[in-house]
Chains A and B, each alone.
Chain A
Amino acid sequence: MSRAYRHDLNGSGLARGSLQLDIDGVGLRFGGVKALRGVGVQVRQGDVHAVIGPNGAGKTSLINCVSGLYRPQDGAIRLHDGELQHELTRARPSRIARWGVARSFQNIELFRHMTVLENLLLGRHVHMRHNVASALAYFGPARRQEIAHRELAEEVIDFLELQAERKREVGTLSYGFQKRVELGRALCMQPAVLLLDEPMAGMNAEEKEDMARYILDVNELAGVTVVLIEHDMGVVMDISHRVTVLDFGRVIADGTPSEVGADPAVIEAYLGEAA
């Protein structure tokens, strides 16, 4: 009868603090343009790990390599999962998603004419096991699974306070809400690692504060590892455990927010030579 959630949103079995995502010397070229040059980042389970840098520094390219949209020419990306170790650089995006890497996009990528609930249930797709025939009959295991999926989606709705929007078409929602739905869909995957590409871009101060609160809840209450790309330095410094700074496709600093904030190379990259 307790009101506690019955489903664990964290899909990782690793102990908190152990190495989870190991990006090792990744290089990515588009023709002659070197987007990433020997980038190495170690993400530990349970952290909010921010990747920051000026425009064109290669942040989104790096995320795209992790989720399998780009194939880097050099280096390796390893996802630790208990005893197992998955190599992501050669795997298809669908396989990577099944291993527990979920993401949101810089430009919202939702199904605009579907409701919030339907979009969230799509996040359950990687976990759906029944075949078409039994799903059509809505009988036996198919029915039990459907109910369990809906239950989990409803817990995510509760978690992100989307109750009043549950049945609304996503296209009719405000930008801030759409971003929240995108976070919700990623959470429905019960991810091991959550990649968020500028979740607060284009938001006003109040919406940013809300989103920061939800990201912290996802991390602290649900225990999910978050890799966060963000422009807003204030937000990054407030909510991250670790920060990696990219500039021109290279890692120029890596450490705790206070270490990175005091790093002369970072100040230079952000404020220009004069600083």
Chain B
Amino acid sequence: MARRRVGAAAAAIVCLLVATAAFAESECTASTDECVAVGSWSFSVALGAGVRTNPIFDGRDIPLILVPQFSYYGKRFFIENLDPGVTLFDGESNTLSLVASPGYDRVFFYRSDLQNFFVLSPASFSGNYSGATTLVKPPPQSSQQAPADARELPQPARKVTYLAGPEWTFKRGSMTGQVDYLHEITGHTHGAELRAAVGMPIGSLLGGSVNARTGLTWKSASTVNYYYGYPGLYRAGWALNPFVKLGYSRPLSRKWQLDAFVHVERLGNAISDSPIVDRHYVTTAFIGATYVFHK
């Protein structure tokens, strides 16, 4: 039922957008932070220090050392790291695209996940975190009971998944927003996600700019269950993960810039209640220098 409601909402957004799309064209006339030349590509690498905490019980945090970034924008087609897409309409304040994006949660289980390749760290290629088994935290105990030990159970396979669907981005004044409704297309989770976020610059500091973003990700029950459920032990429902992000960027030279950010995501109850999850929050933080090889 919830999935049907989300689907209907996404369809309504698309219809509204298509109806208004014919009255405006792209305002882009030069390369800026918001606009890019058709046919251009960029490649940069950030070198610095950072970490993404791992909410999985006994899971190791993911160090961030080298962060490559790649993008190409054609007239319609584009690819941004692991996210390819086709832009159906690019208007003055609204853009509608069809995008594909990898399932995010796998990064906590497999160090070799493609998304971890884009945050290279010394152990990026060392396979999964806990081998063929997964640790399950002990159930909550009353104060009279002796503490129970964690159990080690076989690790269910969590395959690489891709989600695809419409993406609407919009601009209102200095605020930008984005809504994605993505459905899993690789046949593993059969789930869906709704991603929504808004962001805006909030000021300048030491010659650089500070921007803030906030948003949420809704994950369907089948998506959450694929990653955080355990057969016969825990069956998850849908989850809503809100997040806030604060970023700072300062140009150092024509090719170098300083980048830093902190991203905090609160895991929905269906995820944090899982016996294989130990934390309620995932924090990602990084500070480093980015070298732009081509722009």
Please indicate whether A and B come from the same complex rather than being unrelated chains: no
